[in-house]
Amino acid sequence: MAAAGSDAACRNGNGRTGERLAGSALASDIPFLFARARAASTRNAHAALAQIGLKVRAFSVLLLACEGLRPTQRELSEFLSLDPSQIVALVDELERRGAVIRQADPQDRRQRIILPTPAGKRLLRKAQGLIQAANDKSLGSLTQAERQMLNVLLQQIVFPGGRDRHASESG
Amino acid sequence: MAAAGSDAACRNGNGRTGERLAGSALASDIPFLFARARAASTRNAHAALAQIGLKVRAFSVLLLACEGLRPTQRELSEFLSLDPSQIVALVDELERRGAVIRQADPQDRRQRIILPTPAGKRLLRKAQGLIQAANDKSLGSLTQAERQMLNVLLQQIVFPGGRDRHASESG
DNA sequence: TATTGTTATACTCTATAACTATA
DNA sequence: TATAGTTATAGAGTATAACAATA
């Protein structure tokens, strides 16, 4: 690609780089900032997870499966804002790998509960270490207090219902 | 699609919805929150801009062209973190529409400076009104002070160089 | 009849490489 | 030789519709 930003400064003889445009009103546009922040943080997360053959989507599913919540595929779809058909592919991948299993819910046999295997739990622990390091890199310019504040603000946007969350800075 | 979140709560007889998973550690993961916040805000922005036939990418290019900064395509590519080939398509679209023109830089005829037309400036004003309404919707759960704080934190992440920006809340 | 999971398909977005014209 | 823009192409990500099993 052409991955601007970090190392792309001062290249051409004209002194014109993308940095010059940071004076634009766009630099204060929240959706634009979300897009750039997300791109950078998922790039770091992907790079970190690559060494154990995971992607962030699969990591999210694995994490949700490992917390004792016994999620159905439908719930995963809703919470991750992904289409049910995408969950199928993600669970297929994790199941092939022996990290999770599908269990038919005895109370409604249409639903499949996603459960972790011991190997899945081990994989998650490894992944969480890598993710934490990646997130530290993504948020390196923020203090711990600033990260916590950012976490609270983002949760207010994403979960406007406003359940009293603890902002535990897992990432 | 299956667009979870907003209206998907309380559907199945089991009382199991995606909302239940908000207790997960994933709900405190910053990249996850970025992804959901970005998805929601760009969805709103796209819906708003659709009525004038623009997408957010094209809007960004148009805005940068209209501020007197005389950006080259390379600069747009770097600042928007898009590949140069994607800029070509965006400028093509805006040019077909009569909103911008390409001008060869006389000092380096390889470079094309993107300039707005009067029609382009009018289109931008319309777009900005729509974008502002969309952003108000996306950030409805935040006070003005919280928005400003979010803006500052995001800029610290995206522009770690730390030029003294004004967080002018253009969106 | 409605819902869960599944499959298939198309469309957008993103990434990569090669080409041209200028430098 | 190197860079700006362009073109073409392949891959990932996303959206949509139809189907089988179950309710």
pTM of full prediction above 0.75? yes
Q: Which tokens in the block code for residue B154?
A: 């995001």
With an 8 Å Cβ cutoff, is A133 touching chain B?
no
A1 and B67 within 8 Å at the Cβ level: the answer is no
Round and report the angstrom distance from CA (B90) to C1' (D4). 16
Q: Are A31 and B171 in contact (CB under 8 A)?
A: yes
Q: Which residues of chain B are modeled with pLDDT < 70?
A: 1-16, 162-171
CA B1 vs CA B4, B36, B54: distances in Å: 9, 16, 21
Residue B42: phi, psi to the nearest 5? -75, -30
Tell whether the model's pLDDT for residue A61 goes beyond 70: yes
Three-class HEC string of B25-74: HHHHCHHHHHHHHHHHHHHHHHHHHHCCCCCHHHHHHHHHHCCCCCCEHH
* Mean pLDDT to the nearest integer, A161-171: 50
Confidence of residue A17 (pLDDT cuts 50, 70, 90): confident
Round and report the angstrom distance from CA (B83) to C1' (D9). 15
Q: Burial code of A28-42, b = ≥16 C-beta within 10 A, e = fewer? A: bbbbbbbbbbbbbbb
B3 and A28 within 8 Å at the Cβ level: the answer is no
pLDDT of residue B161: 76
Nearest to B37 among A22, A34, A74 (CB): A34
Nearest to A28 among B29, B82, B170 (CB): B170
With an 8 Å Cβ cutoff, is B70 touching chain A?
no
